[in-house]
Chains A and B, each alone.
Chain A
Amino acid sequence: MNKRLPALLSVVAIVGSACTPAASQAPAASGTASQPAATTAAAPATITVWARNYTVEEGRIQPWAPGPKTAFEAAHPGVTVNLAEGVGSTDQFNRIELSQAGAVEDKPDIFQLDNIWLGQFVDEGITANLDSYYANWADKSDIVPAYANSTIVKGSQYAVWFYSDIRLMVWNKDVFKKAGLDPEKGPTTWDELFADAAAIKAKVPGVSPVEFPASSEESTVDRFYSYLYMTGSNILNADNTKAAFNDAGGQKALQLYVDLVKQGYTPKAVLGETADDNIAHVFSGKAGIMLATVGDGLGSLPDGFDVAKFQSTIGAALPPLCAGCQAASTAGGWMLAINADSPNKDLAWDYLTMVTDGKNMVPFEVDRTRIPVRTSGLAEADAFKADPYFAQEADAAKVAHFPPFIAKYTDMIEILWTGMQKAITGDLSTKDALDQAADKVNTLLAP
């Protein structure tokens, strides 16, 4: 036997480990692409649900169970609901895509999707057309019209809203007290924002006066939109074919970020931080103000916080306004869709509608500081008293905008956050950074 062979194989193995490719792992993990045979209506069936991690968290209120699951299984003997392990946002996206590609064996009947993925999933044929279900659904009028309309893609319904969330500015009251500021009153204008930031910088050393996410991920743009919208700017034009964020309003909004960094009120470290990092800093008193977070932050409670401590530590309000601007916030949220390949679409629809029922969702929405998308849910005002800043969230909901649900949204936002980073680091002026990004987005969206 050639003695060189083992040595050569060893070298190849060592070198091979240097190139462990994400791309090559996907096919290696592939199973069969086969789809289970269609289950007849009378046969036992399993409705598999792929949800986000925090909606199936043990020990916290879940919208899926026990109520809806028990009621559904009782109404459909022999049918069980399988709540698969919940995962984070990126993993949820990838497992849905991989399932569609046939690269993983199991497929969901129902899956939870971020509203920004809807356009892409419809384009890829992942989501079932729900027009026939909507046509016979008594509760469809219960969905707030702005939300019901937003699930229509190319003239058809492809999802049902699950819950929504709204962006608010939050601040740490203890930091405000130390800075000699009124802890119950956050800044309402950009001038006040800079004044408060100056006070914190002067009197509370070691604390970042203002933070916002600016790393290479989605929350960077999501938390920026409210400031973009308030200037009258928008992300794309009316028919979603061209960038609009590089107009004067967009430049003004981005200049706010640049000025906060330039004047030392926001550390450059935000370039490596996500929104989760920022909110953790506000809770811990490491940061004074976060320009925009999901809801009032109640859904991100760290260990050791209860609602009372939350209310005494954290303040929340609509994002502060620039001179001549109009109040604005951003709405995001999650929807439920039925897999186009599901053999049990009727059963899936039954369970999906039980889960998204307005009253069923309220306890979860209160617990996680989410906004109801149903009129019946919004009517449960007493329940939401547990959320100390629900009134502010309701106010923000009135002036909230949705990001565009376009197929190339995830590619577009990478271009946008890169442009934002170029301005924040000082590599380019806000105008040049946004113009450059707009050119790329226009190329991306060109037919």
Chain B
Amino acid sequence: MVRGAFGRATPWLLLALPLLLLFLFLLLPYLLTFFYSTTGATIGRLFNVKEVGLKNFQAVFSEDAPSFISVVAVTAIFTAGTLFGSLALGTGLALALHTVSAGVRSALLAIYLIPWVIAAVIIGYTWRLIYDPAIGLANSVLGMVGIGPLDWLTEQGIALAALVVANVWAGYGIVLLVVSGALANVPPNIILAGQVDGASYARIVRRVILPAIRPTFLLAALVALVSGLNTFDLIYAMTRGGPLYHTETMALEMYRLTALKGNVGQGAAVTVILFTISLALAVAYVIIWRRETRKWS
């Protein structure tokens, strides 16, 4: 009887510490953030703060330098660019590696994962050098094909695209890793069957491999999506949200309002909005994931 009770409690006992840590370091800060978003808290006044209702949200929505719509748009473009870029590059490389022998694959995989293990700040400064208008590699390459130099990070039209490229380079590794793992589990006989039927490799990928790894692909997509929404350090190192807030994402807006302007209430309001968007995406993911797993079970 005792053993039975203990057995039933075991999962909860094992989960107790992680749950406590999750509460202390994730849920509690979020609860505090929700609280602060309705107060006039500043960096110099975090206790005994005045309740202001939804005024912080009004202030955030009505700000015009930068406008909140532009911050959301920049975040959406940056996140979508990161998502599709990382998925395309990571999956493409994983499929390419899938065609070589296991030994070569392991060696190449280790090399391709290098950007993923480098700190984002270092990647940011490295890409800043690459984009340097005077000495950067990017303009040297353009020069070779007869195109004049560009101000990659200070020209409003291209700064965001330049950041997306850098972030894809920084983040494709996780997609590569996840998709490579999934590819290893694709039954070789169904690929062989496709080959016997005379299908091209591209057709096998489209009709056989990608459907087979679809649930894993969804996970990779979620991670890439989060990577796009989450990115702060790389953007800060490269543009700090400039020129003129044209690369200011919600993550940078939170930092600007909270740490630079000291307006904790408004910074918390942006956090709450970002959290709501992220939660909606997470719920959508869970629904799709359950539908997919049901299909395969």
Contact = CB atoms under 8 A, between A and B. Distances in A.
Interface of A: 1, 6-9, 11-28, 30, 33, 90, 94, 97-98, 100-103, 124, 126, 206, 208, 215-217, 267-272, 286, 410-411, 414-415, 418, 421-422, 425, 427, 440
B259 A94 contact: yes
B105 interface: no
Nearest to A414: B261
Contact of A24 (B29, B230, B239): B29
Contacts of B254: 21-23
Contacts of A427: 244
A1 B10 CA distance: 10
B258 A101 contact: no
Given A13-B26, A23-B36, A24-B32, 11 more contacts: A11-B286, A17-B226, A22-B254, A23-B267, A98-B44, A101-B45, A101-B47, A206-B134, A269-B154, A272-B240, A421-B243
Q: Per DSSP, are chain B's interface residues mostly helix, strand or loop, or mixed?
A: helix
B215 interface: no
B74 to A, nearest CB: 14
Given A23-B36, A27-B29, A268-B155, A421 B242 contact: yes
17 contacts: A13-B26, A15-B226, A17-B226, A18-B274, A20-B230, A21-B29, A23-B267, A24-B29, A26-B43, A27-B32, A28-B24, A102-B47, A208-B134, A269-B153, A271-B243, A271-B244, A272-B242
B271 interface: yes
Interface of A is mostly: helix
B264 interface: yes
Contacts of A410: 261-262
B275 interface: yes
Contacts of B251: 20
Sorted nearest first, the 8 A-B pairs with minimum C-beta distance are A21-B271, A24-B29, A22-B258, A97-B44, A23-B268, A24-B33, A23-B267, A15-B282
A282 B134 CA distance: 14
Interface string B237-279: 0011111110000010011001111101001101100110011
A21 B244 contact: no
B154 A272 contact: yes
A205 to B, nearest CB: 9
A1 B65 contact: no
B54 to A, nearest CB: 16
B42 to A, nearest CB: 8
A100 B28 CA distance: 23
A23 B22 CA distance: 18
B267 A21 contact: yes
B240 A215 contact: yes
Contacts of A90: 259-260
Interface residues of B, number: 65
A422 to B, nearest CB: 6
B83 interface: no
A322 B11 CA distance: 77
A421 B28 CA distance: 39
Contacts of B260: 90
Chain A CB count within 10 A is highest, among B12, B37, B230, for B230
Contacts of A268: 133, 151, 154-155, 243
A28 B21 CA distance: 12
B27 to A, nearest CB: 8
B258 A421 contact: no
Interface in B37-93: 37, 42-47, 65
A215 B128 CA distance: 15
B151 A267 contact: yes
